[in-house]
Structure 1
Amino acid sequence: MINNQKIYMFLKNSDNVGKLEVICGSMFSGKSEELIRRLRRESFTKQNVLIFKHSIDKRYGENGIFSHNQESIEAFPVSNVLEMENIISKHPDVEVIGIDEVQFFGKEVIEFCNKYVNIGKRVVVAGLDLDFKAEPFYPMPELLTYADSITKLKAICMVCGKEAYASQRLINGNPAFKDDPIVMVGASENYEARCRRHHIVRDRNDKRAKIYFLFGTDINAGKEEVEKFISNKNPNAKTKTISIFKNEESVIDLRNSIEKSSHECDILFIRIIKSPLIPIEGDYSIIDLMSEYRKLSSVILISRNRRGMINEVLISHETIRKADLNLEDIYFTPSENPENPINIDNIEKIIKTKAIII
């Protein structure tokens, strides 16, 4: 006896052609969860569904697709397209094909997907569109060009909470190097979702200096004293200092000077002499220049150690925070009135940054 549900689904879909649906995004964006949701829905409507996952992915189990929040659905673990073909040959009535971690299957999966879409199957795939270097993860770019529908999912940056851009690979807690192998499956201890600001890929051949922007609450905050303090902590490091005044250099000259100096020393101090909000050239301010180097630099906030400086410290901290710069430490230098120091404990609680007194 013919199932009435099958008759209904046949009549409903008899005029439809195949379809390729691509779900992509960074790790922790919910790709597997969305794939599971769609395939489970088709199973509920009595569609014949076959689901595959790459056998390299064994993070939560071998015989299923598992999301990071522990949603799951049964799947065949396979290592290549040929294995998928062999399984499909035993299920000629398949109507929907699902593939998780499609980026691991190589270029052959493109022909595979097109083949079954062209004979009327619905193919739903999920995978990374960018690798850990934030470069296109082949074959996903080509699958996206063939897709009938694309769902781009976004995770949350695990550093700042903003919308994530790519997957950050961490080796022993440090960003991976760009010449590391592309494929290295891991869970949260190996990868994080990161925004453009916080996604970092290291280069073993990059010998540029550590850059410190010295940001003072006023012109006499004690930048030179802080330079000496940091230099004494790194006695074997070669240091160099650049001072930035408003309207005294073009932006291009400043960039060239920073680039050149960063290859001539181990630690490069860049003193901000005037307010970072004052334009250098046109509407381009010192804070804009600092933002260009946010991935390569840290900001050190410097203030004299006296109680009357608390407002200047908080305003300067808020300027740095709003510009999304990397504030490393706050240094308090000796003041002319040592009997009336700033309340360090209160400052650290408010701005959640380590304070150092010199």
Structure 2
Amino acid sequence: MNLYLSNNSGILEVVTGSMFSGKSEELIRRLRRAKYAKQKTAVFKPAIDKRYEGDDVNIVSHSQNKIEAILAKDVSVMEEYLENNPDIQVIGIDEAQFFGEDVVAFCEKCVKLGKRVVVAGLDMNFRGEPYEPMPRLMATADYVDKFHAICTVCGNPAYVTQRIINGEPAYYDDPVLFVGTTESYEARCRRHHIVKYRDKKETKIYFVVGTDINVGKEHAENEYIFENKNKQSMKILKINNVEDVLDLAQLRRDIKEATQNHDVIVIRVIGGILYPLKEEYNLLNLMIEYRKESEVIVVAENREGILNHVYLTIDVLHRNNINVKEVIYINKNIENAEEAANISRVSQRLKIPFRYL
């Protein structure tokens, strides 16, 4: 971005996004360009930011680029510095969300004084909610650039910051303010961002789908019932999208009720995942709705030539960011079974567990 500051007009630029998206890197880049242009700059970072021990005098990016900064416990430090240095032309502020609402008025004041202000900060907190005061800064800015990190789970563009505590996603009621680096935060996409709730029952949903009709899905379902007997509360739902006139709204209500009262829900699907449930809405769309809480169990008849069907089914699921728990091969045709070595090789390539029933 090439921005030129006139003698009479200030400007506010906001650089935002999740952690690890390159916000500080971009802030450093813009401030260095201002320095190269012989413009007098002042750069501030919050005193609360202790991510890089022993380096309180620099803004440091995750790629270890750095620029000298003034440590500020609050906005009053920045105001005092500006009063003592009225010839400052460019002001940089990193991690602006830590300065609270006062930073908005400070930025507005600096812009009215004809200064260029470049602000970097998180747009959302770990809960996936707007992180004040960044929304107000974004709304009043002349230019806003939203940067994206890479989701650590799937490699897609990240949407928000995931907080991890003791290896587990944080609870919603955990404090918002908690400064850390890779040990406590990750970048995540919408699909893989998780916030736990202490008073909410965590229910696992398994969709049981087959590569063809009559492959033995009920057999696989019964195996899950047996394995979880006396261990977890389980609810079985059946979707027959071939013979039944499906009430989609009622199905959603049934799933909601089951999640409130059971630990595990097994949904057995009669018909293909692309078979329409209602007009253009198919089972795949339903699975996408619940993909944060669910996994898919793919059931296939163990016979020659089945691996291509398994590949195609899993490819469709993966392209829609749906997790596959395992592939179950039903040994109906032992004499005409697929070679075990081929099944093992396919499983390794797909990185999905398999077993025989």
Pair 1:298 & 2:295 matched: yes
Please list the CA deviations of residues 76-97 of structure 1 after superposition, one character each: whole Å capped at 9, or x if unmatched.
Answer: 1212111222333332321111
1:225 equivalent in alignment to 2:212: no
Alignment of 1:289 with 2:286, yes or no, is yes
TM-score, scaled relative to structure 1: 0.91
User: Number of residue pairs matched?
Assistant: 347
Per-residue CA deviations over 1:328-352 (Å, capped at 9, x if unaligned) read 1112233232673443311212322
Unaligned runs of 5+ in 1: 1-11
Counterpart residue number, 1:129: 123
Give the corresponding residue for 1:7: none
The residue aligned with 1:15 is: 7
Distance 2:6 2:156 in 1: 45
Offset, 1:13: 6.0
Alpha-carbon distance between aligned partners in 1 of 2:64 and 2:320, rounded to the nearest angstrom: 37
Describe the superposition over 1:151-204 as per-residue Cα deviations: whole angstroms up to 9, x where unpaired: 111222222222221111122232221111111111122222211122121222
Q: Deviations over 1:207-260 (max 9, x none)?
A: 152110001122333323323333344332111111111142121121111111
Identity %: 45
Counterpart CA distance in 1 for 2:6 and 2:290 is 58
Q: Secondary structure at the match of 2:187?
A: strand
Letter in 1 for 2:35: S
In 2: Cα distance, 1:110 partner to 1:318 partner: 48
- Counterpart selection for 1:63 from 33, 57, 68: 57
Q: Give 1:50's aligned amino acid.
A: A
Amino acid of the structure 2 residue aligned with 1:287? L
Equivalent position of 2:352 in the other structure: 353
Aligned to 1:29: 21
For the 8 Å contact 2:331–2:337, the answer to whether it is kept is no
Among 318, 332, 338, the residue aligned to 1:335: 332
User: Is the aligned partner of 1:244 residue 2:239?
Assistant: yes
Work out the CA distance in 1 between the residues paired with 2:305 and 2:9: 74
Report the Cα distance in structure 2 between the residues aligned to 1:132 and 1:98, rounded to whole angstroms: 24
Q: Deviations over 1:63-107 (max 9, x none)?
A: 110111111000012121112223333323211111000000001
TM normalised by structure 2 equals 0.92
Q: Pick the aligned partner of 1:271 from 250, 253, 268.
A: 268
Q: Match for residue 74 of structure 2? A: 80
- The letter of the residue matching 1:181 is P
Q: 1:201 matched to which residue of 2?
A: 195
Q: Which runs of 5+ in 2 are unaligned?
A: none
Quote how far apart the aligned CAs of 1:311 are.
Answer: 2.0
Equivalent residue for 2:40?
Answer: 48
CA distance in 2 between partners of 1:77 and 1:241 (Å): 58
Q: CA deviation at 1:55?
A: 1.4
Whether the 8 Å contact between 1:53 and 1:76 is mirrored in structure 2 is yes
Number of the residue aligned with 1:6:
none
CA contact (8 A) 1:305 1:342 kept: no
What is the distance in 2 between the residues matched to 1:212 and 1:104? 41
Q: Are the aligned partners of 1:310 and 1:342 in contact in 2 as well (CA < 8 Å)?
A: no
Q: Partner of 2:30 in structure 1?
A: 38
